[in-house]
Amino acid sequence: MIQVDDRVRYKNVLGAWEEGVVIKINKTTYRIVNNRNFKVLSIRKDNVEKLEQN
C-alpha cells in the first residue's frame, strides 16, 4: 500500500517511468513531487508503483 512520503515511480504522459515522492493521496490520484525536475503532478493510481526499500 502506498502512503504519503513513499518513494514511487510513475508513468508520465509520454509513457516513460520517472521517480518521485508522494505528498498527497485522493480517491483516484496521487499527488507526487519530482525533485529532479521540480514538478508537482497528479497521477492516476494505476500509473504509480512503489519503489522497493533497500
- Helix (H) and strand (E) counts for the chain? 0, 5
Model confidence pLDDT, tens digit, residues 14-27 = 999 999 999 999 99
Cα distance between residue 35 and residue 26, in whole Å: 21
Indicate yes or no: pTM above 0.85: yes
* Amino acid sitting at position 10: Y
pLDDT category of residue 54 using cuts at 50, 70 and 90: low
Tell me the mean pLDDT in the region 43-50.
Answer: 97
| Percent of the chain's residues with pLDDT above 70 | 96
pLDDT category of residue 9 using cuts at 50, 70 and 90: very high
Q: What share of the chain is helix, strand, coil (3-state, %, to 5)?
A: 5, 55, 40
